[in-house]
Structure 1
Amino acid sequence: MLGAIGLDEGQEAAYRALVAMGAAEVPDLAHRLALPVPQTERALRHLERHGLAAQSTARPGRWVAAPPTVALGALLTQQRHELEQAELAAALLAQEYRAEVTEPAVHDLVEVVTGASAVAHRFHQLQLGAAEEVCALVSSRPQVVTGMENEAEEQAAVRGVAYRVVIEREVLSLPTGIREASTALARGEQVRVTGQVPTRLVIADRSLALVPLTGPGAEPAALVVHASGLMESLTGLFEAVWREALPLRLGASGAPQESGGVPDSTDIEILTLLLAGMTDSSVAKHLELGLRTVQRRVKNLMDVAGVTTRLQLGWYACERGWVAR
């Protein structure tokens, strides 16, 4: 909670304990925190430098907590001021950059990033800098960032950044594929499925893109593309793949329930995964259902729809809105 003002977990715990106790000697505080006395002393010295604690003048060796409203308020005010100064500096630098690079040279429109850590860093940086939308093509063979889950994605989603993601069908067959897809959908992301994506790709706000340059086994490298004709081509490529991909819709899988006249959430998941190209056995495995249960549910849905083939069932399901078109 207080990490934003420069306190680690131990220092925050020491301050909270000191506030609760009012005042305490180092051994007593160390015992309450279950920490060694030297480590507790270091935490108190750090709190003292930040104005959050002080040694009692009346009783030497005893520490008292500074009032939170005063001490924390001062630190927060200082941090807000520093952030405002940083924002002002960033705005001035951006203005200077635009003035100097009105017509950027060709070599300034792209940059090559080499090394797993460097590529992963730019991947996260691209998402953290997004303000409106992130578009991505995800293959079943990621090199640097595995799956669709990463901290930057979660942070961007919390800020209200929209996500449109196209994943390869094989991603759903990976051990954590369906779980990660469900998590992404729960965050409000739009996810679609296709047989194979032409390339791995991430685009932020249609102005910055990251494209891998190397194949499996080679040292990871990626091309960072800035706003340009190439950027427009990459955006057009994503939109073409997006239009042809099948929307993914997953519910919360619970205990198997027999289907009546209306499909339940498990039926919807089964239909969606089958339409995405997964086999009955793969669907059963990932939904933790028996193969016979999956097949029985599909047969029940075919009876409800009054159809004799799965192709007809897929068409009927789309027409009735059971699954997204």
Structure 2
Amino acid sequence: MLSALGLDEVHETAYRALVSVGAADVPDLARRLTLGEPATDRALRQLERHGLAAQATGRPGRWVAAPPEVALGALLARRRQELERAELSATLLAQEYRAREAEPAVHDLVEVVTGRGAIAQRFLQLQLGATEEVCALVTGDPIAVSGADNEAEAEAAGRGVAYRVVVEQEVLSRPTGVRDLSAALGRDEEVRVADRVPTKLLIADRSLAMVPLTARTAEPSALVVHDCGLLESLSGLFEAVWRHALPLRLGRGGTVATHPQGTGEDPDGPDSIDLEVLSLLLAGLTDASVAKQLDLGLRTVQRRVRRLMELADVTTRLQLGWHAYERGWVARTR
């Protein structure tokens, strides 16, 4: 608990033991700490430097604990001052950076990031720094960054950052693809599916973008693009893919559950399972793949498709897709 004040576990344990007994000599304290006497003596000397312990007057070798409210209060005050100075330095550096960024040089408009670790770290930074919106294109072959491992996405969405994501159809076929996308939908992210996505892409607040630079065979590298014409082109690419992608509708957690009566579903219309089956079919999955992803039987999926066709009063699946989109069955309501 006191590590934030600069004390490691040994020093904290020694101070707590000294507080509990009030005063002790080195051999007695060493037995309590199950440490050797030299190590105990070093710990006490370190506590003395922090103002947390002192040698008893007139009792050589005996140590007493400083009152916690005084000694720890002083350490806390010192830490607060250090944090305030650090915060001031960060503010000044940010002002200096913004002033320099007002007239960026051409070579400052893009950064080249090389290596899996560096790319993953920069990928997280862009999302953690976003305040309004993150737009992403996700392909089916992650190289340096895996969407399933991206904790920053949940953190940013929890802060109210809006997410618009287009995933490649192949993503739905991953073992955890449907579950991960269900979690994203549960965070009120907007997710759409396309047969193919032209490239991986992340855009944060329309001011920074990240796009791969090298092919799979080389050491992975990426471009971080600042506010410039190239960023506008990447934003235009995302919007074009977004317009032509299909909305995805899934239950939370990647599982399907029937809704009890009285939940507001139309008893004569498609239920939640029907809509999830329909959404995955429109995303390009086969009946067998839908059954596997939603943990349903193949005949159950086929029976539900026939029911949907009856509800839409159509005779082919192509017609079903058109009528489903026209009726808003595949559009996810917030």
Residues 219 and 232 of structure 1, relative CA distance in 2, 3 Å threshold: same
- Deviations 1:287-306, CA, capped at 9 Å, x for gaps: 11111111111112222332
- Kept in 1, the 8 Å contact 2:259–2:272? The answer is no
Whether contact under 8 Å (2:116, 2:145) holds in the other structure is no
2:210 partner letter: L
CA gap of 1:281–1:116, structure 2 versus 1, over 3 A, is same
The residue that corresponds to 1:323 in the other structure is 330
In the alignment, is residue 300 of structure 1 matched against residue 307 of structure 2? yes
CA distance in 1, matches of 2:208, 2:290: 37
- Deviation digits for residues 154-187 of structure 1, max 9, x if unmatched? 2222222221111101101011111111111112
Question: Using a 3 Å threshold, how does the CA distance of structure 1 residues 106 and 297 change in structure 2: closer, same or farther?
Answer: same
In structure 2, what is the equivalent of residue 165 of structure 1? 165
- Give, as a single letter, the amino acid of the residue that structure 1 aligns with 2:215: G
Equivalent in the alignment of 2:321: 314
Cα gap change, 1:256/1:233 in structure 2, threshold over 3 Å: closer, same or farther? same
Q: Give the 3-state SS of the residue equivalent to 2:171 in structure 1.
A: helix
Q: How does 1:5-44 map to 2 (within 5 A)?
A: 23=20
Shifted more, 256-265 versus 102-111: the winner is 256-265
Is 1:290 aligned with 2:297? yes
Percent same amino acid among aligned pairs? 60
Residue matched to 2:263: none
SS in 2 for 1:136: strand
- The 1-side partners of 2:68 and 2:272 are apart by 54
Q: Which structure 1 residue ranges, 5 or more long, are not aligned? A: 31-35
Match of 1:107 in 2: 107
Q: Residue in 2 aligned with 1:272?
A: 279
One-letter amino acid matched to 1:308 = T
Number of paired residues? Answer: 313
Number of the residue aligned with 1:197? 197
Question: What's 2:88 paired with?
Answer: 88
Residue segments in structure 2 that go unaligned for 5+ positions in a row? 22-27, 57-61, 261-265
Is the CA contact 1:114–1:222 (under 8 Å) kept in the aligned structure 2? yes
Which residue of structure 2 aligns with residue 143 of structure 1?
143
Pairwise CA RMSD: 4.2
Question: Residue in 2 aligned with 1:221?
Answer: 221
- 2:147 counterpart SS class: coil
- Summarize deviations over 1:121-149 as a string: whole Å, max 9, x none: 11112212222211111100011111354
Deviation at residue 117 of structure 1 after TM alignment: 1.2
**Alignment-mate amino acid for residue 172 of structure 1:** L
Query: Which is greater in Rg?
Result: 2
TM-score, with length taken from structure 2: 0.76
Any idea what SS the aligned residue of 1:222 has? Answer: strand
Asked whether the equivalents of residues 302 and 309 of structure 1 are also in contact (C-alpha less than 8 Å), the reply is yes
Q: Deviations over 1:222-261 (max 9, x none)?
A: 1111111111111111111111111112114245799952
Match of 1:33 in 2: none
The answer to whether the Cα contact below 8 Å between 1:137 and 1:166 also exists between their aligned partners in 2 is: yes
Q: Quick one: structure 1 residues 316 and 227, their matched pair in 2 at CA, closer, same or farther if it must change by over 3 Å?
A: same
TM-score (norm: length of structure 1): 0.77
**Inter-partner Cα distance in structure 2 for 1:54 and 1:257:** 64
